[in-house]
Structure 1
Amino acid sequence: MHKQRLIFTIFGGTGNLAYNKLFPAFYQLFQEEKFDSNIFFVAIGRRAKTNEQYRKEIETKIKQKYPDYSKKGFDAFKDRIYYYNLDFTNELHYGDFNNFMINLDQAHQTNGNRIYYLATAPTDFPSISEYLKKYGLLDTNGFNRAVFEKPFGYDLKSATEINNSISAVFGEDNIYRIDHYLGKEMIQNILTIRFTNQIFNAVWNKDAIDNVQITVKESNGVEERGGYYDQAGALRDMVQNHLLQILAFVAMEEPSKFDTDSIRNEKVKVLKNIKITPELKSHENIVFGQYKGYLEEEKVKPHSKTETYVAIKCEIDHPRWEGVPFFLRTGKYLNGREAEIIIEFKNKTQCEPFGLLAQPNLLIIKIQPEEGIYFRINTKKPRSEKEVMPVSMDYCQSCNFIYRSPEAYERLLNDIIAGDSTLFTRWDEVEAAWMLIKHLISSCTKDDYLVSYEKNSEGPIEAEFMIKSANRKWWNIEDLNNSKFDF
């Protein structure tokens, strides 16, 4: 249990993130006694509300989210929540806000310890940070940490400008750039699976691994996010952060120590050594797609060339991974909502009578919606002499009714309170990712090569061509789960 006294302030306190993710996560952490009654919350919003009105809104959201909601439990939690009406774009209001925080700090003896969570547009990050400093909100005897939601900038230039501004105020050690994907249970499990199991760690290299696939499918369209998404697209919204971070965890070298800086150092090395051939015409390395009907979505430009699907083949310039292709794909309005990492091992069995019958071994780390590990091996088919059949060992962590897998924000918020930044991206990681995306954007002209695909499909047929041209195939966990064998 955290016994640290502090005030946790959320800019954007009336947004969907605060209502649907942050406060439900805080409620669960409180119910599980991850922190005690010494932590208090201030939600910043432009609308006039009383504390009781806001607490009631939070309670409604929590009741909707958790069937086991406890009125008694929430009543113990809600008294820690305060609402403060502030137009955070107007610096003249920060003097009064500082007085409010001083009084709250004195009332609850939080020792000047503060965390500021900026769930706002990234363009607001620099000004909010500057006003907090200018009007004395950081002049306390305790720590001051700042959390910044994605997207962290629109491109390398804007990300660099934002970083320079916030670093001048808080310093890198106090900055937490949040990517909620890194809080998912099975993303955290990647290093454990690899480095604590010699059967995997010993063969985690080019000699044994044929290819790696990272898939993140979304079954929904852009919905109410058309305005934002049309400016970002799948490359910026998903690849730049989520997929590249997953790739870095999969491909990194074993760190000298399993501490925050050592892990981050190894991830940066991977990101700086990713090699992509930025050529669209052949569809052999990159495919940009847009689902049919996207142009009719609300707030989308009528002739938009924004991609809603990306598939990429890349390699990592490192002896461990020489010649091993990494395939990334993500998109909206696909035939399912799932995320997984698939490690396909080389099928080297040449001895008779098994050589032509054996299937490649597969290790699948299932991220969502089901969490777990799938491992496929070959065995002799029962009551046969020479027939070989694939069988699987399938561990479903999220199927365990006794164990409730924590939501991503629960883990990340808990780490922020503890001061552990391992699962947060350091600036050089963000910079390396944006450098790669900048290279792709400047080298690829989507106007002529943006392809369309049907809603609720696997995506563009060109993505199928891309992987087939590399003599591989996309693996889908549903197909493997639905395989039937006759004994």
Structure 2
Amino acid sequence: MVPNSKVPASIVIFGAGGDLTRRKLIPALFNLYVEGYLPPLFRIFCVDYVQQELNLFRESLRTGITEFSRNGAPSADKWTDFSERIDYISGDFLQRTTFLALKQGISGFEKSVRKRGTRLFYFAISPRFIETVAHGLYTDQLANRDNADRLVIEKPFGTDLASAKTLNKYLLARFTEKQLYRIDHYLGKETVQNIMAFRFANYVFEPLWNKKYIDHIQISVAEKVSVGSRGGYYDGAGALRDMVQNHLLQLLCIVAMECPGAYEAEVIRNAKTKVIRDIRPMKSAQVSRQVVRGQYKGYRQEAHVSSASTTETFIAAKIFIDNARWKGVPFFLRTGKSLEKQSTVIIVQFKDSPHKIFRDDIVPNRLIISIQPELEISLLFESKVPGLQMKLQPVEMDFTYNESYSTRPIPEAYEALLLDVLKGDATLFMRADQVEAAWKAVMPILDSWKKQARNGLHAYVPGSWGPAAAKTLLHPHSSDWILLPETLARAAPAPLK
């Protein structure tokens, strides 16, 4: 569905001088414009404290599109029309004059098109400015229509349960829940969105999606890059706050949720929130047995990182969901920086066959959902090797986006999410209670680490797969973490029993 073409849109980006705008937001908006998904009447207001000349700023955005857009360099005519709709407002978020200048710009645009339209406010800013910008929008009534005005807020949404509750309370005292879009770009990825279609539109899998047939599930988000220039932020966050509390728990929700009664935003968000609330709380003594944390060697020498830092750059955890579908099935979550490869993979490991009539039937069925970089879904099953003897070998049945949809471009995550905001569709965005439930789920780990800052922090070599202790966490369900799909048929390690 395309946003109502008769309704103009004012798109405001706070913190527009940052990398997020240049690398993700403007390329996404430009692609939506080129493909006809933006309304004919729109204006983009870029707000930042740095003084910049408008034409130089626009040129910087153009080079960003050339470098980072999936479509490469923009055509001259499309870019000319698009760039003329971009304004730049220099101002301090702490000063009311900034918001008055923005209000004047939006009002001028809406007067020129003779209609009050949709207003999208994107918070591409440091978390410490969220309340400041929200206060400015509220005070000067820039976002005072709950059916037309939307605030998009990037993570981190709080640093713990208490701060998340405080921020929710602050925002909900000024805006309605339907105006707040807490964004997690992982949920905009094509393969992530496809998990729901795969589960609920294909009945062959859904009857098997439970504790009777599934042995365990692995969700692994590996990053090859180091902390790099993000040390100032990362050293105060760590892998648990930066990745698990949002990205990995959101993937968990989609994999584990019950079938919603309808494909509607609130119904789906209810189902996801219930999953998080059903996560079994860890006691302090269980954290050391169910969670492994690590820090890559050399992390403390990174820029803006404390030389005595105990911040984790790797975490692996075993969690349980105490409901009728999943009780007793372990979910293994893993993420880290400076690992061997960039990879996001979900592994659904089925239980071993009860009918062992073949001696070499040793590899249980396995479903592999590769979110990046492959964009692939594979089913591992046993097959007879051609020949005169009954010999089995694991093989893969593959679905890949590149082969099945070779003529259809795959949109970037931010394209899908920005379009949903313009449409007023909150399906892929987190609600206040879901954010708080996610923080509540990880607080026992944070509290335990706070008491024992250095205990159990494993060092690992950059370019490896993290601490060896992460493998022992899988026992007795598996001997190792499953990696990329192309390695499965060759390696296919059997689970330990």
State TM-score, norm by structure 2.
0.93
Q: Distance in 1 between matches of 2:375 and 2:334?
A: 19
Q: Report the secondary structure of 1:343's partner residue.
A: strand
Residue in structure 2 matched with residue 216 of structure 1 by the alignment: 221
Gaps of 5+ in 1: none
Per the alignment, residue 105 of structure 1 pairs with 110
Inter-partner Cα distance in structure 1 for 2:122 and 2:287: 44
Q: 1:484 to 1:141 in 2, by over 3 A?
A: closer
In structure 2, distance between residues paired with 1:396 and 1:138? 42
Letter in 2 for 1:263: I
Q: Structure 1 residues 62, 35: CA separation in 2 closer, same or farther (over 3 Å shift)?
A: same
SS of residue paired to 1:311: strand
Give aligned pairs, total. Answer: 484
Query: Is structure 2 residue 46 aligned with structure 1 residue 52?
Result: no
Alignment partner of 1:361 is 2:365: yes
1:317 aligns with 2:322: yes
**Structure 2 residue aligned with 1:388, among 371, 387, 392?**
392
Which residue number corresponds to residue 462 of structure 2? 455
Q: CA deviation at 1:471?
A: 4.9
Superposed counterparts of 1:261-276, under 5 Å: 261-275=266-280
| Equivalent position amino acid for 1:63 in 2 | T
- Work out which of the residue numbers 212, 221, 229 in structure 2 matches 1:207: 212
Equivalent in the alignment of 2:440: 435
Alignment of 1:21-420 (within 5 A): 21-65=24-68, 66-67=71-72, 69-139=74-144, 143-275=148-280, 277-278=282-283, 284-352=289-357, 354=358, 356-398=360-402, 400-420=405-425
Contact kept? 1:335, 1:458, Cα under 8 Å: yes
> Which of 466, 480, 483 is 2:490 aligned to?
483
User: For 1:20-57, what per-residue CA distance to the aligned partner results, in whole angstroms no more than 9, with x for missing partners?
Assistant: 10000001111111123212110001122233222211
**In structure 2, do the counterparts of structure 1 residues 166 and 351 end up closer, same or farther at CA, with 3 Å as the change threshold?**
same
**RMSD, matched Cα:** 2.0
Give the secondary structure class of the aligned counterpart of 2:243. helix
Hey, what's the Cα distance between the residues in 1 that align with 2:202 and 2:83? 44
Instruction: Compute the displacement of 1:470 (Å).
Output: 4.6
What secondary structure, in the 3-state scheme, does the structure 1 residue paired with 2:167 have? helix
Shift of 1:92: 4.2
How far apart are the structure 2 equivalents of 1:278 and 1:71?
60
Q: Is the 8 A contact 1:5 1:109 kept in 2?
A: no
> Does the aligned pair in 1 maintain the 2:380–2:396 contact within 8 Å?
yes
> Which blocks of at least 5 consecutive residues in structure 2 are unaligned?
493-497
Deviation at 1:386, TM superposition (A): 2.1
Q: Which deviations, in whole Å up to 9, do the C-alpha atoms of 1:168-223 show, x marking residues without a partner?
A: 12210110000000000111011111111122111001111111000000001000
Tell me: CA distance 1:389–1:427, structure 2 relative to 1, closer, same or farther (3 Å): same
Are the counterparts in 2 of residues 271 and 432 from structure 1 also a CA contact under 8 Å? yes
Aligned to 2:495: none
Comparing 53-62 and 11-20, the one that deviates more? 53-62
CA positional deviation for 1:140 = 6.4
| Shift of residue 394, structure 1, vs aligned partner | 1.6
Structure 1 counterpart of 2:196, which letter? L
Matched residue type, 1:394? D
How far off is 1:443 after superposition? 2.6
Q: Distance in 2 between matches of 1:386 and 1:112?
A: 69
Give the match's secondary structure for 2:205: helix
The one-letter code sitting in structure 1 at the alignment partner of 2:455 is D
Q: Answer yes or no: is the 8 Å Cα contact 1:280–1:287 preserved in 2.
A: no
Relative distance call for 1:350 and 1:279 in structure 2 (3 A) is farther
Superposition TM-score, scaled by structure 1 size: 0.95
C-alpha distance in 1, partners of 2:118/2:265? 22
Counterpart residue number, 2:12:
9
Cα distance in 2 for partners of 1:415, 1:225 equals: 29
Q: 1:343 to 1:98 in 2, by over 3 A?
A: same
Mapped partners of 1:355, 1:123: distance in 2: 61
Q: Is the 8 Å Cα contact of residues 48 and 89 (structure 2) preserved in structure 1?
A: yes
Separation in 2, partners of 1:263, 1:135: 34
* Equivalent of residue 22 in structure 2, options 14, 19, 29: 19
1:275-300 CA distances to partner (integer Å, 9 max, x unpaired)? 25455799541101000000100000
- Cα shift at 1:398: 3.9
Give CA deviations for 1:223-270 in whole Å, capped at 9, x if unaligned: 000010000000000000000010011001111122111111111111
1:349 is displaced (CA, Å) by: 3.6
SS state at 1:263 partner = helix
CA contact (8 A) 2:345 2:483 kept: no
Quote the sequence identity (%).
38
